[in-house]
């Protein structure tokens, strides 16, 4: 066990870097010092230079990249400019943003063994390290698998395992869990945190999903436009919440809730938020929330579950809600645009990934597919796009069976965006990517379509750029724009929001909401699914285990657990408080409405405010906090439960 105290592991002084072919520097005078054993979270808007900064640590920049580089970087005492990549990669373990850029072995075992082999360890020790690293990331049973046969999240786990097998003193990770399911993310980061504490491994982790990662970090660093604009201990970071808001970054729901209510506190979990709000001894209750919205449980009256719009076991293994009952009767719905019957599909005949899927999607629905890594979400999307065919059962799109067709037969009508955007980008500029589809389909209004789709994805200003020279978030938006320009009737998106900041997620999802006819998207982000999907499918081991409105699905803790999902904090808080809310806006509204009911004798002025003003206006005016306090919902110690 290493125990050398007080070393500076990373020291960056006045670092400037300009990529070859660019006139503007990407890094503009970065200064950063990280001590041994610190866990630092680096965040910032997409394209601000986070990945670029990470690549300077192990010498990819400038040794491989070229470009104009000035300033100094010392990692564990080594000046990177005077070192070589071989030496630097043993000083810094780098987990790449795109797992396909990191993985080069054909088998999982070889990939994880590569590092220890290079450290010239003996075979037995290498075997032990591989086994342990795979166990730490939940991939022990995939040891003999081919790396090509892994899902996106599984590949990310292997990339982390490769680094853990080497136990470098500095671990730099570029969005290492962006495609991982929420429970897996938590488990792996707990392991990383333990290693960080016990072995004093220094961690620099880049991420946009602050709401899920903040609690693991000691310190938060924010970049904007190639500069560091905030560097604070985690406990103090939200004292500067306006910086997060101004830069369009995601703020954990409990923090946002408190700030909206005008309470100056930065709780990172539902439990902490309830404590701040004065909800007392809430620990146990949050973990096993009461279902307040089902009055029958209190009265003992039972009704038909379908009537209650609750879970209905269809007998086929799928749990559905009353809302979708028509699907269970075998007849296709009139508006059905996708119809799946007993679908069995996979990549090898003797290993089915999808195991008897039944699904009806109607025109105009926005369907989110969630579930454990490797549960078959991408495989289902590939079937919908006719890129993969059923071994058994049928998939009908627009009423036609996909079996005799290929994906080209849906050109113009179905748009597909892969999990890895790099698989879709092959043109010389962002502009060409967007106009490629309309041009091939001989549309007349190519110019307008191109401009609209680039604008929709906020990349109009990058239209002349080479796609390969963009940040990952920008490349993903380029891939989405290349599909939007066709304006297809069905859009299939495999994790469209990974690696995006809040502003871009909102912009993208609002565009889909307002402009797209039918949308089916895979995501691990339950907050996004709840806000933007009209329907939520939960998958586990090749089956749909729940199907219904997000608001209903989210209440079933057992289903969520089975699919490695967790309730968003705001839902946990609402459950505890006994109100029905799935977003901060709703929760604040409900609480405010409660207070207005109590205060209804107090005249029109307050009524207008609680129903018409936005949350921030309410918070700014200080009304939420004080009125809630007056009404009895909040007292001087917090919210009464």
Q: Does 154 bind ligand ATP (CB under 6 A)?
A: yes
Count CB-CB contacts under 10 A for residue 283: 10
Count CB-CB contacts under 10 A for residue 514: 8
Q: Does 564 bind ligand ATP (CB under 6 A)?
A: no
Minimum distance from CB of 37 to ligand ATP (Å)? 25
Q: Which lies closer to ligand ATP via its Cβ, residue 68 or residue 441?
A: 68
Among 115, 374, 415, 421, the residue binding ligand ATP under the rule CB under 6 A is 374
Among 37, 50, 238, 633, the residue binding ligand ATP under the rule CB under 6 A is 50
Q: Does 470 bind ligand ATP (CB under 6 A)?
A: yes
Please count the residues of this chain forming the interface with ligand ATP, following the rule CB under 6 A: 38
* 402 SS3 class: coil
Minimum distance from CB of 64 to ligand ATP (Å)? 10
Q: Which stretch binds ligand ATP (CB under 6 A): 295-303, 463-471, 567-575, 597-605?
A: 463-471
368: nearest Cα among 606, 128, 594, 532: 532
DSSP annotation string for 447-481 = HHHHHHHHHHTT-GGGTTS-GGGS-HHHHHHHHHH
Minimum distance from CB of 53 to ligand ATP (Å)? 7
Binding flags for ligand ATP, 508-547, as an x/- string (CB under 6 A): --------------x-------------------------
Q: Which lies closer to ligand ATP via its Cβ, residue 248 or residue 305?
A: 248
**Binding site members:** 44-51, 371-378
CA-to-CA dists, residue 628 to 110, 267, 270, 462, angstroms:
60, 20, 19, 47
Q: Does 503 bind ligand ATP (CB under 6 A)?
A: no
Strand 170-174 and strand 202-206: pairing?
parallel
Q: Which lies closer to ligand ATP via its Cβ, residue 153 or residue 390?
A: 153
Helices (H), 173-294: 182-199, 210-213, 234-237, 241-246, 253-260, 270-276, 283-287
* 574 SS3 class: helix
- Omega before 336 cis (within 30°)? no
Q: Which stretch binds ligand ATP (CB under 6 A): 44-52, 99-107, 131-139, 162-170?
A: 44-52
264: nearest Cα among 299, 226, 301, 238: 238
Among 30, 32, 41, 48, the residue binding ligand ATP under the rule CB under 6 A is 48
Minimum distance from CB of 273 to ligand ATP (Å)? 28
d(CA 396, CA 341): 9
Strand 39-43 and strand 202-206: pairing?
parallel
For residues 263 and 252, the answer to whether their CB atoms sit within 8 Å is no
**Binding site members for ATP:** 44-51, 371-378
Burial 41-51 (b: 16+ CB within 10 A, else e): bbbbbbbbbbb
Q: What is the 3-state secondary structure (H, E, C) of 501-520?
A: CHHHHHHHHHHHHHHCCEEE
Q: Which lies closer to ligand ATP via its Cβ, residue 499 or residue 548?
A: 499
d(CA 442, CA 435): 10
Minimum distance from CB of 373 to ligand ATP (Å)? 4
Minimum distance from CB of 470 to ligand ATP (Å)? 4
Q: Which lies closer to ligand ATP via its Cβ, residue 301 or residue 349?
A: 349
Count CB-CB contacts under 10 A for residue 23: 6
Q: Does 383 bind ligand ATP (CB under 6 A)?
A: no
373: nearest Cα among 129, 114, 111, 186: 186
Binding flags for ligand ATP, 4-43, as an x/- string (CB under 6 A): ---------------x--x---x-----------------
Binding flags for ligand ATP, 99-138, as an x/- string (CB under 6 A): ----------------------------------------
Among 258, 286, 353, 570, the residue binding ligand ATP under the rule CB under 6 A is 353
DSSP 8-state symbol, 107 = B
Minimum distance from CB of 157 to ligand ATP (Å)? 9
Helices (H), 99-164: 99-102, 108-118, 123-136, 152-164
Q: Which lies closer to ligand ATP via its Cβ, residue 265 or residue 466?
A: 466
Among 58, 378, 420, 631, the residue binding ligand ATP under the rule CB under 6 A is 378
Sign of CA dihedral 379, 382, 388, 394: positive
d(CA 542, CA 558): 18
Could you say which residues in the range 390-419 bind ligand ATP, by CB under 6 A?
Answer: 419
d(CA 277, CA 577): 11
Among 56, 375, 458, 518, the residue binding ligand ATP under the rule CB under 6 A is 375
Q: Does 347 bind ligand ATP (CB under 6 A)?
A: yes
Among 152, 176, 569, 638, the residue binding ligand ATP under the rule CB under 6 A is 152
Q: Which two tokens stand for residue 67?
A: 């470009």
Query: How is the beta sheet containing 518-522 ordered, strand by strand?
Result: 311-313, 319-321, 543-548, 535-540, 366-371, 518-522, 490-494, 414-417
Q: Does 151 bind ligand ATP (CB under 6 A)?
A: yes
Minimum distance from CB of 531 to ligand ATP (Å)? 20
Q: Which lies closer to ligand ATP via its Cβ, residue 470 or residue 619?
A: 470
Q: Which stretch binds ligand ATP (CB under 6 A): 88-96, 118-126, 466-474, 566-574?
A: 466-474
The residues that touch ligand ATP, with contacts defined as CB under 6 A, are 19, 22, 26, 44, 46-52, 148-154, 179, 347, 353, 371, 373-379, 419, 469-474, 499, 522
């Amino acid at each position: 066990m290493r125990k050398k105290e007080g070393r500076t592991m990373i020291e960056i002084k006045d670092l400037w870097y300009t990529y070859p072919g660019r006139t503007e520097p990407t890094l503009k005078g970065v200064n950063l010092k990280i001590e041994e054993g610190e866990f630092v979270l680096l965040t910032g808007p997409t394209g601000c230079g986070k990945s670029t900064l990470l690549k300077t640590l192990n010498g990819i920049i400038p040794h491989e990249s070229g470009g104009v580089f000035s300033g100094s970087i010392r990692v564990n005492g080594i000046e990177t400019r005077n070192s070589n990549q071989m030496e630097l990669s043993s000083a810094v373990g780098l987990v790449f943003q795109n797992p396909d850029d990191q993985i080069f072995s054909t088998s999982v075992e070889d990939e994880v063994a590569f590092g220890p082999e290079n450290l010239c360890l003996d075979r037995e020790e290498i075997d032990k390290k591989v086994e342990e690293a795979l166990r730490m990331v939940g991939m022990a049973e995939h040891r003999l698998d081919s790396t090509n046969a892994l899902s996106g999240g599984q590949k990310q786990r292997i990339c982390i395992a490769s680094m853990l097998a080497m136990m470098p003193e500095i671990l730099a990770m570029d969005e290492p869990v962006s495609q991982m399911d929420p429970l897996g993310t938590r488990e792996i980061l707990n392991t990383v945190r333990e290693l960080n504490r016990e072995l004093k491994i220094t961690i620099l982790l880049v991420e946009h999903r602050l709401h899920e990662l903040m609690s693991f970090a000691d310190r938060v660093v924010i970049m904007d436009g190639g500069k560091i604009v905030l560097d604070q201990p985690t406990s103090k970071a939200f004292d500067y919440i306006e910086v997060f808001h101004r830069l369009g970054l995601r703020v954990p729901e409990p923090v946002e809730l408190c700030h909206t209510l005008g309470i100056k506190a930065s709780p990172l979990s539902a439990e902490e938020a309830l404590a701040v709000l004065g909800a007392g001894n809430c620990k146990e209750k949050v973990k096993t929330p009461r279902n307040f919205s089902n009055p029958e449980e209190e009265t003992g009256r039972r009704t038909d579950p379908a009537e209650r719009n609750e879970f209905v076991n269809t007998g086929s293994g799928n749990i559905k809600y009353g809302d979708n009952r028509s699907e269970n009767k075998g007849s296709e719905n009139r508006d059905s645009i996708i119809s799946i019957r007993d679908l069995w599909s996979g990549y090898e005949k003797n290993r089915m990934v999808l195991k008897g899927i039944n699904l009806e999607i109607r025109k105009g629905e926005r369907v989110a597919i969630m579930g454990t890594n490797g549960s078959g979400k991408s495989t289902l999307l590939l079937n919908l796009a006719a890129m993969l065919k059923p071994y058994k059962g049928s998939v009908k799109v627009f009423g036609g069976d996909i079996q005799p067709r290929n994906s080209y037969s849906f050109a113009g009508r179905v748009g597909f965006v892969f999990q890895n955007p790099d698989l879709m980008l092959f043109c010389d500029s962002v502009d060409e990517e967007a106009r490629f589809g309309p041009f091939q389909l001989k549309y007349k209004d190519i110019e307008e379509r191109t401009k609209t789709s680039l604008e929709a994805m906020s990349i109009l200003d990058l239209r002349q750029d080479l796609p390969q020279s963009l940040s990952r978030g920008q490349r993903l938006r380029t891939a989405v724009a290349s599909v939007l320009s066709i304006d297809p009737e069905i859009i299939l998106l495999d994790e469209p929001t990974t690696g995006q900041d809040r502003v871009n997620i909102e912009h993208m999802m609002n565009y889909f909401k307002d402009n797209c006819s039918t949308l089916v998207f895979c995501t691990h982000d339950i907050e996004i699914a709840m806000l933007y999907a009209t329907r939520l499918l939960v998958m586990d081991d090749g089956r749909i285990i729940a199907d219904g409105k997000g608001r209903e699905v989210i209440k079933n803790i057992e289903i969520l657990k089975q699919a490695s999902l967790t309730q968003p904090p705001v839902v946990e808080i609402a459950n505890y408080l006994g109100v029905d809310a799935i977003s901060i806006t709703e929760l604040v509204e409900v609480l405010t409405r409660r207070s207005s009911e109590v205060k209804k004798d107090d005249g029109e002025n307050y009524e207008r405010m609680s129903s018409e003003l936005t949350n921030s206006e309410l918070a700014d005016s200080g009304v939420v906090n004080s009125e809630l306090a007056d009404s009895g919902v909040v007292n001087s110690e917090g919210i009464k439960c």
